[in-house]
Amino acid sequence: MSSHIQQIKNAKVVNKSSTTQDPVWVRCILITISIAFISLFICVPLGLVIFQAFSKGITAYFSALAQPDTLAAIKLTLTVALVTVPLNTLFGVAAAWTITRFDFPGKSLLTTLIDLPFSVSPVISGLIFVLLFGAQGWFGEWLMAHDIKIIFAAPGIILATIFITFPFVARQLIPLMQEMGHQEEEAALSLGASGWRTFFSVTLPNIKWALLYGVLLCNARAMGEFGAVSVVSGHIRGMTNTLPLHVEVSYNDYDVIGAFASASILAGLAIVTLILKTFLEWKQATR
């Protein structure tokens, strides 16, 4: 009797593992395929950036970074991110508040329009600002008459970057705030808290990790954008080259160390972004 029960138990265990788990050989093959694929497409390229940047030694690496053009590119990239990220964060919070806390006609259309920049090619995102502010553009003559430069100057680069990174923060906040509902905020308001107080003491603590997540992604893209910025920048060395554009210019000049030294900064930024992203995802999951 007892051996019979034992048999059933064993059978059950065997049955369970065979229904939801794959045979060992399938597992091994699939793990090997995916590790090979990811290594080839992700790990090898990442390693190569570091290898190329230091291929002539540490001194060559740092002297490439200390070039005035490289420093100017770093400065411009930081400026662009410093203007873009706060503006899009402000917009993201305002849009999420209006979409998730109120009912109004055209709400779903508004939500769709916010995502629009994601489906536009980066090059087209640059082109539309050339059509507006370029020499032959709508405001071209007026800008020329008033001696204001937007295209082939920093303002154009900033505008194109704002367009490209437009949806990032809003996209993180809208689903979360929808899911949260507004009972907590209504409770705070009914107890006499002001609108701002409610936002800062009730809403913000609930959304802070998602907000930081959106800011992080927005910043990474703002610092790394290439296509849109390339169209509006004009590639003037030391003036309108962001770091990604500086990578291109150096690479096309066969300045391998210069290109990969600048690229290594951007790759470092990408890795820091991934680490923070993993941390924020973990924080959000344990919220």
Partner 1 sequence: MSQKTVMPGFRPTIGFTLLYLSLIVLIPLSTLIFESFKLTWDDYIHIITSKRILSSFQVSFTAALIAAAVASIFGFITAWVLVRYSFFGKNIFHALIDLPFALPTAVAGIVLATLFQPSGLLGKFLLSIFGIQVAFKPLGIVIALIFISIPFVVRTVEPVLLEFETSMEEAGSSLGATRWQVFTKIIFPNIFPALLTGFALSFARGVGEYGSVIFIAGNIPYVSEIVPLLIVIKLEQFDIPGATAIALTMLVISFLLLLVINLLQYWARKRSGQL
Q: Which of residues 57-86 bind partner 1 (CB under 8 A)?
A: none
Query: Among all chains, which residue has been given the structure tokens 């992080």?
Result: 216
Instruction: Give least dist CB 38 to partner 1, A.
Output: 6
- Which residue number, 129 or 209, has a Cβ lying nearer to partner 1? 129
Q: Is 155 in the site for partner 1 (CB under 8 A)?
A: no
Name which of residues 246 to 275 contact partner 1 (CB under 8 A).
247-248, 251, 259-260, 263, 266-267, 269-271, 273-275
Q: Is 95 in the site for partner 1 (CB under 8 A)?
A: yes
Instruction: Give least dist CB 144 to partner 1, A.
Output: 15
In sign, the C-alpha dihedral spanning 272, 273, 274, 276 is positive
Give the binding range for partner 1 (CB under 8 A) out of 5-13, 65-73, 191-199, 205-213: 191-199
Give dist(CA 211, CA 213) in Å, integer: 5
Residue 235's SS3 state is coil
Residue from 103, 145, 183, 254 in contact with partner 1 (CB under 8 A): 103
The amino acid present at 56, given as its one-letter code, is K
Give dist(CA 271, CA 81) in Å, integer: 17
Instruction: Give least dist CB 247 to partner 1, A.
Output: 5
Instruction: Give least dist CB 175 to partner 1, A.
Output: 12
Write b or e for each residue in 91-121: b if 16 or more Cβ atoms lie within 10 A of its Cβ, otherwise e.
bbbebbbebbeeeeeeeeeeeeebeebeeee
